[in-house]
Amino acid sequence: MELRGAVALVTGASRGVGRAIAVALASSLLVGLIPAWQLARTDLRTALNDETRGFLDAKRLARTKRGVILVNTARAALVEEAALLAALASGHIRHAGLDVFHAEPLKPDHRLARMENVTLTSHAAFRTLEASETLMRRAIDIVRRIVAPTSPR
């Protein structure tokens, strides 16, 4: 599958695995990153609430370029599942990479689990040794700042 110049929509791209995927796509495919605010008025990296639930519905997905690759590492409910399934089945969404699901754990007989144009992983996919070490270092640094005596200036 040739992806050079393709359009990729990555939700949850502000940090962590979503950001890593977005940067990898941009650098390896020679495409630019398009911030969520340029795609729509609502930031997809926001908390799930009544305003963001189902933000990517059938109407918004239909406005994307045919063959878009959708990666959702944010919250499953930001994307309407029925609209996602229909767009994947029709080929409008070429491929979806998901680590969040409307019902967890995802049942083996769920349509998403049977589609060849879907890549599924657990929401803890970021949990590599390096990521865990970074989290521990950050936590230790925060504790040190809290308990360290402040020096007079």
- Give me 141's structure tokens: 């640094």
Answer yes or no: is pLDDT of 125 > 90: no
Backbone angles phi, psi at 59, to 5 degrees: -65, -45
Q: Which fold has domain 8-124?
A: Rossmann fold (3.40.50)
- Concerning whether 63 is annotated as a catalytic residue, the answer is no
Using a pLDDT cut of 90, give the percent of the chain over it.
Answer: 21
pLDDT of residue 39: 44
Average pLDDT over residues 91-105: 89
Tokens 């499953």 found at: 76
Higher-pLDDT residue of 27, 100: 100
Answer yes or no: is pLDDT of 87 > 90: yes
The catalytic residue among 15, 51, 66, 104 is 104
Answer yes or no: is pLDDT of 2 > 80: no
Answer yes or no: is pLDDT of 21 > 60: yes
Domain ranges of the chain: 8-124
pLDDT of residue 5: 53
Give the separation between CA 86 and CA 142, rounded to whole angstroms: 46
Angle at the Cα of 118 from the Cα atoms of 44 and 93, rounded to 5 degrees: 60
Answer yes or no: is pLDDT of 3 > 90: no
DSSP string, 47-115: PP-TTTTT-B-HHHHHTSPTTEEEEE-S-GGGB-HHHHHHHHHHTSEEEEEES--SSSSPPTTSHHHH-
The catalytic residue among 75, 80, 94, 95 is 75
Backbone angles phi, psi at 97, to 5 degrees: -115, 120
Answer yes or no: is pLDDT of 14 > 70: no
The catalytic residue among 92, 102, 110, 123 is 123
| Average pLDDT, rounded, for the chain | 75
- Concerning whether 104 is annotated as a catalytic residue, the answer is yes
Mapped onto helix, strand or coil, the DSSP state of residue 89 is helix
